[in-house]
A and B are shown apart, each in its own frame.
Chain A
Amino acid sequence: MDPVLIKIALGGVATLACIGLFFGIGLAMAAHKFHVEPDPKVEEVLHTLAGAQ
């Protein structure tokens, strides 16, 4: 196969991996920074209710 095409394909894989890594780390950091403590009471109340819907 044409080496140029192989280069483009491999470059695509590498670039996409980099983009994915970059945004993944960004999201993880955002999730860490904007972390919200879940209220245990909400869970308990939901558990006690029938919960058909």
Chain B
Amino acid sequence: MSAPILRVKDLQKHFPVTSGNLFKKQVGEVRAVDGLTFDVYPGETLGLVGESGCGKSTAGRSMLRLLEPTGGSVEFDGQDLLAMGKRQLVSMRREMQMIFQDPYSSLNPRHTIGSIIGAPFDVQGVKPEGGTMKAVQSLMERVGLNPEHYNRYPNEFSGGQRQRIGIARAIALKPKLIVCDEPVSALDVSIQAQVLNLLDDIQKEFGIAYIFVAHDLSVVRHISDRVAVMYLGKIMELTTRDQLYSAPLHPYTHALLSAVPIADPDRERARERIILNGDLPSPSNPPSGCVFSTRCWKATDRCSSEIPVLREISAGHQIACHFPEDRSSATASSTVSGTDFTAN
């Protein structure tokens, strides 16, 4: 395998919690991202999946320094992003772009589509061959928009079309990495499939690496090569897509996957269900030890006192758990018997 395009080590993003109106003082912190370590290779898609509040979006933004990380290191193409000055960082952004969840708020309503998609050229001082307008129109054509709509405004487009505009803007400078933050979750299923296929095609054509942040596990399965499962600011499990979905080792991954309904009545009604009790704990007051221990049915005293570190359990399969699921008998549902299992 070639060298990673992005190396993230122990990335942290903590938000201060303050009190008082005039003299604000910090009374605590929310550890939104708390020690992420992973690599992304050129041309691959790493899925970052988890429930709301697990820190996946904050992680995506911190990696690009759209949010200033609290600690850790991010190396992009061999260069330390966190040590860069502002000017250096801006020119580095040419190589790394972002696609946002909400296609309504991520496009300036007063700018035409042409100037939105052309903005990266202006910002970076790039003069494309044949002029910006020609380059923008060929980008519009590439993402399935009518190039004649160059002078229209965002409000004249539907949600799916707006997401195409966001994609055109992100690929304008042929970046090496795009962080896609829930790019299809605001779209209807039929439109979602169009956009997923477009992202797929573009990746093949330009060899762009994606970090695909999403909560929808079936979408993540579809698009990712490798998947990292996050819970309360930490990675619980990180491995290849097929391994994760067919034989998850972390109890949280196992429960999360079993919670997703399958669009096939016979399979759906026969499948194993692990119903977790309770809600996600508050990230400002995370449980001691393993963050998942309060909802885990396998938790012991050790789990609430000792933090499990993310370790490699087999080649390319990392997990942060003291008591990984036993897959020795090879079947995916061997560890939990019965169909209606309630964890305590």
- A and B interact: no
| Interface, chain B (partner A; CB < 8 A) | none
- Give the interface of A toward B (CB within 8 A): none
